[in-house]
Amino acid sequence: MVIYSEYTHAVDLQELHEQIRNCTKCPLHRHRKNAVPGEGGMKLGVMLVGEAPGAVEDEQGRPFVGPAGQLLTKSLSQLGVHREDVFITNVVKCRPPENRTPREDEVEACMPYLLKQIEILKPRRVVALGLVSAVALLRHMGRGVERLSDVRGRCFKGRIAGIELEVCVTYHPAAVLRNPKLRGEFQSDLAVFFGGGLERYF
Ligand code: URA
Ligand code: SF4
């Protein structure tokens, strides 16, 4: 019997996303309208990881579709990157009340889903959007992070969920919305992370 790996991935990912949509592992499930597992493709071998869904994401069950998402989508398209060609997700899959920062226990409860997504999708590069994501990802490479400015604009090689990859760090697009002065650095970080000698997957 021939097993097509793409098909197998799709099935695994679909099952995982179904689990996420039904998950009650942490208190955030009580407030959500929809869990937001993530979406997109691996044509470029890149995964983008935000913090947690906001109001519009919770409403639609899709990542980065509110104001911050629009900024992100536009920044990608300026580099010729279609958002459908990148897998976009968050550390925490359900919206925290009033968009507060997810708590440590919530990050810990939800992190296995991100690790499984990494294991299934095998990204070459994972772009951490903001401090929560950078802390959560770089911890799995044994690197502690206190301030975003210590790691922003940099890539770190290592292994997460058994996959060799680089974690590259930039601002959270919501921070760029609040402070438009960050826009230039955000855009140039993404240009490096999406240029930087990445081989195309296909
Ligand atoms: N902010 C995030 O971190 N993630 C989203 O999906 C939307 C806004
Ligand atoms: Fe489950 Fe994550 Fe949602 Fe918590 S945030 S209920 S761990 S999917």
Task: Give the tens place of pLDDT for each residue, 166-191.
Answer: 999 999 999 999 999 999 999 999 99
Residue 136 confidence (pLDDT) = 98
Q: Which residue's CA is the closest to the ligand 2 atom numbered 4?
A: 26
Q: Is pLDDT at 197 greater than 90 in this prediction?
A: no
Residue range 2-193, CATH number: 3.40.470.10
Q: Which ligand minimizes its atom distance to the CA of 130?
A: 1
Residue 196 confidence (pLDDT) = 56
Whether residue 135 contacts residue 148, with contact meaning beta carbons closer than 8 Å, is answered with: no
Q: 9 CA distance to ligand 1 centroid (A)?
A: 24
What gap in Å lies between CA 97 and CA 55, rounded to an integer? 9
Residue 63 alpha carbon, nearest atom of ligand 1: 6
Q: Is pLDDT at 86 greater than 60 in this prediction?
A: yes
Residue 3 confidence (pLDDT) = 42
Reported pTM: 0.93
Is there an atom of ligand 2 within 6 Å of 28 CB? yes
DSSP state of 94: S
Domain borders along the chain are: 2-193
Q: Which ligand minimizes its atom distance to the CA of 24?
A: 2
Residue 11 confidence (pLDDT) = 74
Summarize pLDDT for 106-153 with one digit per residue, the tens: 999 999 999 999 999 999 999 999 999 999 999 999 999 999 999 999
Whether residue 129 contacts residue 172, with contact meaning beta carbons closer than 8 Å, is answered with: yes
Q: 141 CA distance to ligand 1 centroid (A)?
A: 23
Q: Which residue's CA is the closest to the ligand 2 atom numbered 2?
A: 110
Q: 59 CA distance to ligand 2 centroid (A)?
A: 16
Whether residue 39 contacts residue 62, with contact meaning beta carbons closer than 8 Å, is answered with: yes
